Amino acid sequence: MFLGQEYHILGDWFIIHFTENNGMAFGLEMEGELGKLMLSLFRIVAISVIGWYLISMIKQGLDKGFVICVSMIFAGALGNIVDSAFYGVVFGESAYLQVAEMFPEGGGYGKFLYGRVVDMLYFPVIDTYIPQWFPAAPEAVPAWCPDILFYIFPWAGDHFIFFRPVFNIADSAITIGITIIIIFQKRFFASFETEEKEEEAKEPEAPEGDGEVVE
């Protein structure tokens, strides 16, 4: 597929839209090659920590639901880092009306850890324009203001689409895992307390003395 190519699965509500994300969620990115490298290294460190935590959870026999949620987060993060690490090495540059070539003669478009993440799931369920009685956009927008704020706080007359960002299955796994943890946090953390109490009950108590005093 080439950049921007679309397949409508469910009318205009569910579209396979091919795009490449050079940064994080919602297209946020750290500028320059150093920023891209720092982002990739951060992802690797995060995955390592999550993987270590996941293994320790399984060994402790913690709540299966919580283990599944953390596994989804781990799998999603791993999928994105694989894309980021190898996609630029394996594929050539893709552009509008130009399909990326796999293993091109001159090498891929990027170095190891400098690739882009492929996104394809697009759900523009609501496609409308904000009425004019909404607050108008400020004349001057600060340079540090991220674009994501315009998805959350649209202004009068803006073209509003929900859900605008294009994402992938890995993003879905991370989002679903975090959402379930937030919803069922009381149950999950209650199971941790139960495990701790059971461990304390298994510990042998120190023998009590017979009360005699030796002179």
β strands within the chain, DSSP E: 6-10, 14-21, 117-122, 126-129, 159-162
| Residue 171 appears among annotated catalytic residues | yes
Residue 41 has pLDDT above 60, yes or no: yes
Q: Within a domain: residue 169?
A: yes
Q: Within a domain: residue 117?
A: yes
Please give the Cα distance from 161 to 15 (Å, whole number). 13
Q: Within a domain: residue 205?
A: no
Q: Within a domain: residue 108?
A: yes
Q: Which pLDDT does position 163 carry in this prediction?
A: 85
Q: Within a domain: residue 148?
A: no
| Residue 210 appears among annotated catalytic residues | no
Q: Within a domain: residue 129?
A: yes
Number of domains within the chain: 1
94-148 pLDDT, tens digit per residue, is: 888 788 888 888 888 888 888 889 999 999 998 889 888 887 777 656 665 655 5
- Residue 114 · residue 37 · CB < 8 Å: yes
Q: Within a domain: residue 65?
A: yes
Q: Which of 63, 158, 171, 210 is catalytic?
A: 171
- Residue span of the structural domain in which 126 resides: 6-133+154-194
Q: Which pLDDT does position 35 carry in this prediction?
A: 80
The DSSP code for 103 is S
Q: Which pLDDT does position 36 carry in this prediction?
A: 83
Global confidence as pTM: 0.77
DSSP run (H or E) holding 66: helix 64-90
Closest alpha carbon to 1 in 126, 119, 105? 119
Q: Within a domain: residue 48?
A: yes
Q: Which of 12, 119, 127, 147 is catalytic?
A: 119
The DSSP code for 21 is E
